[in-house]
Amino acid sequence: MSDCVFCSIINDDIPSHKVYEDENVVAFLDANPVSKGHTLVVPKTHVDNIHDASEMQYMWDALVEVSNALEKACDPEGINIAQNNGEAAGQEVFHLHFHVTPIYEGDELEIEYDRSELEDGESIAAAVKDNIA
């Protein structure tokens, strides 16, 4: 897609700091990192989100490879892997991507949700199971 910033990075139309690349995936440092080493892992094929990625099992291998490299290179206390789908979930670039974010002592990641007790778990689980392909 010509207007997709990640497609432009994949095609080398926009400079980036690539740290990993194979025939299916590219990984590069986030231009606006939340921590040292914050890396985006992106499929070369443009899909908007995880719902269009049923044939992209290769993403797992790249995520493990990049995570292991970041652990060795940056020596973080932990690594967070996140993937957002849709504007309501915080997705800003509509090309599937995973954030691999090293977490350092003193900069621990805080994710806050308005949690409640599970209600109607049996019917929700049944509905999800019925929709597993």
How far is 92 from 113, CA to CA, in rounded Å?
20
pLDDT at 110: 73
Q: Mean of the per-residue pLDDT values for the chain?
A: 92
Asked if the model's pLDDT at residue 6 lies above 70, the reply is yes
Domains in the chain, number? 1
Residue of 17, 38, 51, 97 with catalytic role: 97
* Nearest one of 77, 65, 87 to 107, comparing CA atoms: 77
pTM metric for this prediction: 0.88
Q: Please give the residue that has the higher pLDDT: either 126 or 112.
A: 126
pLDDT at 105: 86
Which residues neighbour 83 within 8 Å (Cβ) at sequence distance 6 or greater?
A: 50, 96, 97, 98, 99
Q: For this structure, is 97 an active site residue?
A: yes
What residue numbers bound the domain in which 110 lies?
5-130
Strand, coil or helix: 86: coil
pLDDT at 14: 95
Which residue in this structure is represented by tokens 């019917």?
123
Q: What is the pLDDT of residues 42-82, one digit of tens each?
A: 999 999 999 999 999 999 999 999 999 999 999 999 999 99
CATH number for 49: 3.30.428.10
Q: What average pLDDT score do residues 89-113 get?
A: 88
pLDDT at 1: 62
